[in-house]
Amino acid sequence: MSAPIDFYFDFSSPYGYLASEQIDALGARHGRAVMWHAIVLDAQFQPQGGMKIPAALMRTEYVRRDVERSSAYFGIPYKAPVPYPVHTEHAARAFQWLSDRNPDEARSFAHAVFRAYFVEGRNIAETAVLLEIAEALKLDREDVSAAFSDAATKARLKAEIDLAEARGVFGSPFFIVEGEGFWGNDRLPQLDRWLANGPF
């Protein structure tokens, strides 16, 4: 069995969103499973295990236009969200809780959260919005709500982030396959070629 593709993302990352709409199809083309990993990049959550990100860069006019252009190029629906960015620790905790129990449900939840923020303009930092998303997916509202503050889930997410940092992950999206790291949605063509032809 070929090694899977590890896909790291932050729910507040527009490039993570664009990658989320493409990575499973890319993996399927090469017979590779894709393992989804939610991380928290916001430097404000560094004491809780968050990873640092150049937030000022992500707010520039260039990035705003680049994401609009990229989404149009790939044919992926996109609407610039307001507010931007937002805190994503609750969404990441809920994802991690789901992923440990049912990875397929977690992936569906991740898609719905990304689309709620980057297409529908809903504030995914609000737990009420996340619970509405969970209910729409027929997930148990009370169970998901408990995951937001559950100590074990917090510790599990921190461990996931610590492992990501140890593996060299520093942004969203970030892909690792057979020890090789690829940073950014614009590296998907390189990842595609790597999987098709081997290292280069």
Q: Tens of pLDDT along the chain (200 residues)? A: 589 999 999 999 999 999 999 999 999 999 999 999 999 987 444 545 555 555 555 668 888 899 999 999 999 999 999 999 899 999 999 999 999 999 999 999 999 999 999 999 999 999 999 999 999 999 999 999 999 999 999 999 999 999 999 999 989 999 999 999 999 999 999 999 999 999 98
Extents of the domains making up the chain: 5-197
**Of 115, 67, 58, which Cα lies nearest the Cα of 91?**
115
| CATH of the domain spanning 5-197 | 3.40.30.10
Residue 50 has what pLDDT? 55
Distances (CA, A) of 17 to 52, 80, 112, 134, 151: 19, 12, 11, 18, 28
Whole-structure pTM value: 0.92
